[in-house]
């Protein structure tokens, strides 16, 4: 397992989450002059995106995220995104949050599978961050936060070898290996089978720095080429024209990680209706993990617990539905498998040194933040706790 995988996993899944939320918020937005008090407007959409991106790219949180550490468990990582999605005035019920997370994970899994070479996972991450910057192009302060994360990525990953990137890719594939949720956008494009497994192409550009298959060279003991044999392939391969840019600004060339929910594909966040009842739905290992409860308890404490505070003052928490109708959402909640219940047990924080050290070790030697009073502002409670990391 690579200790450098967590930042790439967090940022790419976060990028997919922002793509989906932006698409659904745009679909449900009402012009400001026509909107009722409980309806979304474009101003609300921008506010939600800004609040979530600000929280996601909090400087001190990013510093902790980039420290070498093992991946969080699936449930712990899901808890992070649950809290992140509610860092603004937007509210998702459990069924919509489930659907959001399924779409996020399957999209990034597909991108990892399609990467021509392991190092290109970094280009996928840059594509996500480039698009996130477009979301907040009129907010210079938040842009600076994202640019700082860009610099951290370049500093951390530009010096890694091909073997280290291969280990990162393998770690990501292990994380995703039991997730086979059917997504309609993939089913329609025929890149996913009815069992939720992806169909990988056998044609297209070969990885940068490699040659098109079809030629075998034989060398003697002096390293001189003595024979050539050509063979035919089933695929139609081409050589890429240039390598994608790994700089702060530049042409990434690779399109994986760009926003597939853009205007050209307007209403494509729907998963196949029968997917929620499939036995192939992602499941956690049923063998009890003695450290799992401690990990979740500690994570809940870092994130201030899962309870979302009711917006104070005259503000209303706006509800976002990722389903076509409320009835679909209610049905998904009723048919939700028990193993997908992500619950966190909040316990009183102990000051026992041994327990603190063990919990710190579990989450990559993070310092335990002292509890702070809850804030009434949208997203400020999580930001305040992140500031204590």
pLDDT digits (tens, 9 = 90+) for 23-64: 888 887 766 566 666 677 888 889 999 999 999 999 888 988
Mean pLDDT of 197-202: 90
pLDDT confidence bin for 72, thresholds 50/70/90: confident
| Mean pLDDT over each residue of the chain, to the nearest integer | 75
Percent of the chain with pLDDT over 90: 41
Q: Domain tally for the chain?
A: 1
Boundaries of domain holding 127: 3-200+245-262+296-302+317-338
How confident is the model at residue 363, as a pLDDT?
36
Q: For residue 58, is it within any domain?
A: yes
Residue 339 pLDDT > 80: no
Q: 171 or 74: which carries more pLDDT confidence?
A: 171
Task: Please spell the DSSP secondary structure of 256-287, one letter per residue.
Answer: TTS-TTSTTSTT--PBPGGGGG-TTS-----S
Mean pLDDT of 318-339: 58
Q: For residue 32, is it within any domain?
A: yes
Distances (CA, A) of 334 to 126, 180, 273: 38, 21, 13
Asked if residue 56 lies in contact with residue 84, where contact means CB atoms within 8 angstroms, the answer is yes
Residue 368 pLDDT > 50: no
Q: For residue 97, is it within any domain?
A: yes
Buried b (16+ CB within 10 A) or exposed e, 368-383: bbeeeeebeebbbbbb
Q: For residue 25, is it within any domain?
A: yes
Residue 146 pLDDT > 90: yes
Q: Which residues pair with 192 in a beta bridge?
A: 198
Asked if residue 123 lies in contact with residue 154, where contact means CB atoms within 8 angstroms, the answer is no
User: Per the structure block, which two tokens stand in for 70?
Assistant: 């093992």
Strands (E), 223-344: 225-230, 237-238, 318-319
Helix, strand counts (H, E) of the chain: 13, 6
pLDDT confidence bin for 331, thresholds 50/70/90: low
CA atoms in the 13 A half-sphere facing the CB of 41: 9
Chain segment 229-278, per-residue pLDDT in tens = 999 988 889 888 889 999 989 999 999 999 988 755 433 444 444 444 33
The pairing of strands 318-319 and 90-91 is parallel
Residue 335 pLDDT > 60: yes
Q: For residue 249, is it within any domain?
A: yes
Q: Taking the complete model, does pTM exceed 0.75, yes or no? A: no
How confident is the model at residue 352, as a pLDDT?
40
Pairwise CA distance, residues 64 & 375, whole Å: 22
Which residues, 6+ apart, have CB-to-CB distance to 105 below 8 Å? 13, 176, 179, 181, 282
Closest CA to 269 of 9, 12, 77, 28: 28
Q: For residue 98, is it within any domain?
A: yes
- The lowest-confidence range among 36-40, 48-52, 133-137, 204-208 is 36-40
Residue 99 pLDDT > 80: yes
How confident is the model at residue 92, as a pLDDT?
85
Residue 348 pLDDT > 70: no
Q: For residue 252, is it within any domain?
A: yes
Residue 325 pLDDT > 90: no
pLDDT confidence bin for 91, thresholds 50/70/90: confident
Which residues, 6+ apart, have CB-to-CB distance to 118 below 8 Å? 162, 165, 166, 168, 169
pLDDT confidence bin for 75, thresholds 50/70/90: confident
Q: For residue 353, is it within any domain?
A: no
Residue 224 pLDDT > 90: yes
Task: Please spell the DSSP secondary structure of 21-33, one letter per residue.
Answer: HHHHHHHH---TT
How confident is the model at residue 327, as a pLDDT?
60
- The lowest-confidence range among 93-107, 119-133, 354-368 is 354-368
Mean pLDDT of 159-185: 93
Mean pLDDT of 292-309: 44
How confident is the model at residue 278, as a pLDDT?
38
User: Per the structure block, which two tokens stand in for 266?
Assistant: 């307007």
As a whole number of Å, the end-to-end CA separation of the chain is 25
Residue 376 pLDDT > 80: no
How confident is the model at residue 282, as a pLDDT?
36
């Amino acid at each position: 397992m690579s200790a450098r995988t967590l930042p790439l996993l967090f940022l790419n899944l976060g990028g997919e989450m922002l793509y989906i939320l932006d698409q659904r918020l745009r679909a449900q937005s009402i012009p400001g002059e026509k909107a009722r008090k409980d309806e979304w407007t474009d101003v609300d959409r921008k506010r939600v995106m800004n609040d979530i991106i600000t929280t996601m790219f909090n400087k001190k949180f990013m510093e902790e995220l980039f420290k070498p550490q093992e991946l969080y468990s699936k449930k712990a990582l899901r808890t992070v995104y649950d809290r992140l999605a509610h860092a603004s005035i937007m509210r998702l019920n459990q069924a919509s949050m489930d659907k959001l997370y399924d779409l996020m994970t399957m999209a990034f899994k597909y991108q990892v599978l399609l990467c021509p070479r392991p190092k290109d996972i970094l280009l996928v991450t840059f594509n996500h961050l480039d698009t996130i910057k477009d979301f907040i192009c009129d907010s210079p302060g938040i842009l600076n936060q994202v640019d700082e994360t860009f610099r951290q990525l370049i500093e951390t990953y530009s010096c890694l070898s091909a073997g280290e990137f291969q280990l990162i890719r393998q770690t990501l594939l292990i994380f995703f290996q039991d997730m086979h949720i059917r997504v309609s956008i993939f089913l329609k494009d025929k890149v996913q089978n009815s069992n939720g497994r992806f169909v990988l192409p056998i044609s297209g550009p070969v990885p940068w720095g490699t040659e098109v298959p079809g030629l075998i060279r034989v060398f003697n003991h002096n390293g001189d080429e003595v024979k050539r044999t050509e063979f035919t392939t089933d695929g139609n391969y081409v050589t890429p024209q240039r390598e994608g840019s790994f700089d702060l600004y530049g042409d990434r060339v690779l399109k994986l990680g760009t926003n597939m929910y853009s205007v050209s594909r307007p209403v494509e966040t729907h998963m196949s209706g029968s997917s929620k009842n499939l036995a192939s739905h992602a499941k956690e290992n049923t063998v009890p993990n003695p450290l799992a409860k401690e990990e979740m308890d500690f994570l809940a404490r870092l994130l201030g617990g899962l309870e979302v505070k009711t917006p104070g003052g005259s503000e209303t928490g706006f509800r976002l539905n990722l389903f076509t109708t409320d009835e679909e959402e209610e049905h998904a909640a009723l048919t939700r498998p028990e193993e997908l219940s992500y619950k966190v047990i909040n316990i009183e924080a102990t000051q026992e040194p041994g327990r603190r050290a063990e919990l710190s070790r579990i989450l990559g030697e993070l310092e335990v933040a002292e509890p702070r009073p809850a804030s009434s502002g949208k997203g400020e409670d999580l930001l305040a706790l992140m500031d204590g990391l």
